Amino acid sequence: MNDNKIFQKIIVFTLLIISGNLFAQSDLSINGYIQTDNRIRFDNGQFSWNENRLNLKFEGAPSDKYHFFSEVRLRGFGFPNVNSVSELQTREKNYVYTWGIEFREAYLDLYQFGLDDIDIRIGRQIIVWGTADKINPTNNISPDDLEDIFNFGAQLGANAFKADYYWDDVTLTGVFVPIFTPATLPYGDYAKAFVPEFNIPPGMTIRNVTDKITLPETKLSETSQYAFKIATNLFDYDLSLSYYNGRDDFPLANEIIIIPVDTFGTADVQTGMIYPKIQVVGADFSGSVFNIGFWGEGAMFLADKVYMNTYIQTQMGLNPIEKSVALDDEPYLKYVLGFDYTFSNSWYVNAQFIHGFIHERGKDNLNDYIAIRFEKKFFNDKLKIVPIGGVVTIIDWGDIGNNYGVAGSPEVTYYPTDNIELIFGAFIMMGEGDNMFSRIQDQDEFYIKAKVSF
Amino acid sequence: MKTITSTFALILIFALNAFAQDAQSIITKSDSVINAPKDQHQFSRMILIDKDGDEKVRKSEMYQKGDEMRLVRFLSPADQKGIGFLSLPDDVMYLYLPAFHKIRRIASHVKNENFAGTDFSYDDMSSFKYAEEYNAKLLETKDDVYVLELTPKPDIEKDYSKLIIEVRKNNYYPIKIDHYDKGGNLWKVLERRKIEGKGNYWISMEMEMKDLKKNHSTKMITDKIELDNGLSDKVFSKRNLKKVK
């Protein structure tokens, strides 16, 4: 054994002892869950998802003054990625077992920091703003995590500094995020849900499409984001006003380069993409009227104007052929209105009207959606049934028959005992015209999930 | 004869009123005994027992101030750890679900739903204000208890058509409450046991709610209780709801 390896072992051993002592002193708790998630397409029996996940949460509150938390996921993706014998021989086994680790959150809370009424949170954190369910136009700080398109509303952690100041019924919040993090997009062929149809010029055949994303420069003025919120309670309603200054976390194409490859009209296409700067002024409320829960949330998006430049490559270089507007600087409003109610027979209903889905932007590109969910628990909460759950979109109210989309997700959850969930369900899409759900209507699937918490 | 009948009726009305006032004062005293501590901080276990005798255990921490401010935080099982519930005056309620990273306002339509799978509804778990919400009638006086019938006041919406409550004569502590559904059938039975003197107060260290329709019961056992610690109103805030202890 050489000196270097001995030195490494000493360091690891020392770190283990130190961290073990720290954990013992800090009253660390470790919780989490193990989950398996399998999805199979109706039409061809193909597996679209096969994930096994170990989710670990580390948490401690050694005193009333501070608290720490971290969440890490170890994920096995199920589908082997083996193309040669040598890949079967790797000691890491990473072609046989494709896997990934996700560092979701790791932060420190300092309570009554400096003043009794100030709490701060430093580190990687998921910040959720807004009173609506899952679709929150005012929620723009932590990037969206759309890897699983059916779990919209999921977010990634952002390295951030957050401070809350409490003054009677008023809470002032300030957030600073030094480095921009983009959203993740749907895995596999679900990505086409977010890509509208586009017309290829007559006579042209596209051979390859490539894209290049340009992230903001890593300097303060380009990559940092900040946000403020003031929240209070008036007339038994919870109200807040917010402001965000940063970037849209979905990429926007601002450049297309057409590269002819023959004289018959065949071409390769290169797309350049950026993350436009935006400001968002938002407001939300929640309360109740006659025992019915009501909430609403709206956000005015003020985007920087982004042009789309189209070039054709010739022997002389790039020739500009078109300049159009990719994103107008005209403000646009996204909003959500919702209610929930529990009937006397314990059926629960939750419904929302949504103007502008997560990925939609620009005044003329916002569609209307109605999300509804009925659920009821049976047998002392051992069984939960969601017979109706899903989203309907109407693209053209004047011609609904040819311009609609539906995504349904009936689901049954069985809780045989504490900490165990068995979930069976399906995703069923249909529609006419060009919309998010009609684009993936041939991808219906059912799923089975099992989860044990510890 | 007519005069005698009228006089008898008048006496009967006075007598009934006297009984009614007496019953109302008993339930008022009972409320004041239950809500006597200025504030409470307790750790407890909720044991859910199904018809086969299988048990599930939930551990929780609860803060209460007066009879209208309460904060409950679940400590176990693992899939419920960190879930918090805050109840404030005027039916203002909040639920904190750590997995969703946010506090959710919940409307009063949930009041008659079971709280966290227990046999207590959100309404059962909220404040004990029987005198304010119910009209009381004395049914019987036994050796050691008063037996009262409580019916909801006209402007109060309840899931129960009536309650039959047994109140101890010696300290006005309510030890048993039969809850009747709107059809007049006995639905739930709450029993309070192990009533101990803690300082100047009487505290029940164990109570059990049985749901006769579901053949299911929830036993709530207080493991540790601190009284009159001078809890600040700030404890009963959204700020505190999302804090982990």
Compute the Cα dihedral for B13, B15, B18, B19 and give only its sign.
negative
Smallest CA–CA distance, residue B55 to chain A, in Å, is 9
For position B218, what pLDDT does the model report? 96
For position B104, what pLDDT does the model report? 92
User: Taking 80 as the threshold, does the pLDDT of residue B9 lie above it?
Assistant: no
User: Taking 80 as the threshold, does the pLDDT of residue A190 lie above it?
Assistant: yes
What average pLDDT does this structure show over B4-32? 64
What average pLDDT does this structure show over A325-349? 94
For position A264, what pLDDT does the model report? 84
For position B146, what pLDDT does the model report? 95
The neighbour count for residue B192, using CB atoms within 10 Å, is 21
Rounded CA separation B125/B113 (Å): 11
For position A24, what pLDDT does the model report? 55
For position B125, what pLDDT does the model report? 78
User: Taking 50 as the threshold, does the pLDDT of residue B183 lie above it?
Assistant: yes
Q: Is the ipTM of this complex over 0.90?
A: no
User: Taking 70 as the threshold, does the pLDDT of residue B15 lie above it?
Assistant: no
For position A192, what pLDDT does the model report? 85
What average pLDDT does this structure show over A280-293? 94
Q: Are A50 and A35 in contact (CB under 8 A)?
A: no
Name residues whose C-beta falls within 8 Å of residue B155's C-beta, 6 or more positions apart in sequence: none
Q: Which residues of B touch A61 (CB under 8 A)?
A: 243-245
Q: For the segment A37-96, what is each residue's pLDDT rounded down to a tens digit?
A: 999 999 899 999 999 999 999 999 888 899 999 999 999 998 999 999 999 999 989 899
What average pLDDT does this structure show over B184-213? 94
Q: Are A323 and A310 in contact (CB under 8 A)?
A: yes
Q: Does B97 touch chain A if contact means CB atoms closer than 8 Å?
A: no
User: Taking 80 as the threshold, does the pLDDT of residue A9 lie above it?
Assistant: no
**Chain A CA closest to residue B234:** A168
Which residue has better confidence, A202 or B115? B115
Rounded CA separation A174/A159 (Å): 14
**Chain B CA closest to residue A61:** B245
Q: Where are the alpha helices (DSSP H) in chain B?
A: 2-34, 122-125, 130-133, 238-241
Q: Do A380 and B216 touch (CB under 8 A)?
A: yes
The structure tokens listed for A292 are 């019915």
The per-residue DSSP string of A337-403 comes to: EEEEEE-TTS-EEEEEEEES-TT--SGGG--EEEEEEEEEEETTTTEEEEEEEEEEEES-TTSGGGS
Q: Which residues of A touch B81 (CB under 8 A)?
A: 31
Question: What 3-state class would DSSP assign to A270?
Answer: strand
Name residues whose C-beta falls within 8 Å of residue B131's C-beta, 6 or more positions apart in sequence: B24, B27, B28, B30, B31
Smallest CA–CA distance, residue B28 to chain A, in Å, is 27
Q: Do A164 and B214 touch (CB under 8 A)?
A: no
User: Taking 60 as the threshold, does the pLDDT of residue A23 lie above it?
Assistant: no
Q: How confident is the model at residue A15 (pLDDT cuts 50, 70, 90)?
A: low
User: Taking 50 as the threshold, does the pLDDT of residue A402 lie above it?
Assistant: yes
What average pLDDT does this structure show over A157-177? 96
Between the two ends of chain B, the Cα-to-Cα distance in Å is 75
Return the residue matching tokens 């601190």.
B226
Which H/E stretch holds residue A9?
helix A3-25
Q: Does A26 touch chain B if contact means CB atoms closer than 8 Å?
A: no
User: Taking 90 as the threshold, does the pLDDT of residue B205 lie above it?
Assistant: yes
Q: Does B89 touch chain A if contact means CB atoms closer than 8 Å?
A: no
User: Taking 80 as the threshold, does the pLDDT of residue A18 lie above it?
Assistant: no
> What is the value of pTM for the model shown?
0.86
Mean pLDDT, rounded, of chain A: 91
Mean pLDDT, rounded, of chain B: 88
Q: Does B169 touch chain A if contact means CB atoms closer than 8 Å?
A: no
For position A1, what pLDDT does the model report? 46
Which residue has better confidence, B156 or A355? A355
Rounded CA separation B165/B31 (Å): 12
For position A446, what pLDDT does the model report? 95
Which residue has better confidence, A227 or A24? A227
> Which of B79, B86, B100, B235 to substitute to test the interface with A, most A CBs within 10 Å?
B79
Q: Do B106 and A131 touch (CB under 8 A)?
A: no
For position A14, what pLDDT does the model report? 56
For position B13, what pLDDT does the model report? 44
Q: Phi and psi (nearest 5°) for A430?
A: -155, 165
Burial of A431 (0-12, 13-18, 19+ CB in 10 A): buried
Burial of B55 (0-12, 13-18, 19+ CB in 10 A): exposed
- A70, A76, A123: which is closest to A101 by C-alpha? A76
For position A12, what pLDDT does the model report? 55
Smallest CA–CA distance, residue A302 to chain B, in Å, is 26
For position B116, what pLDDT does the model report? 82
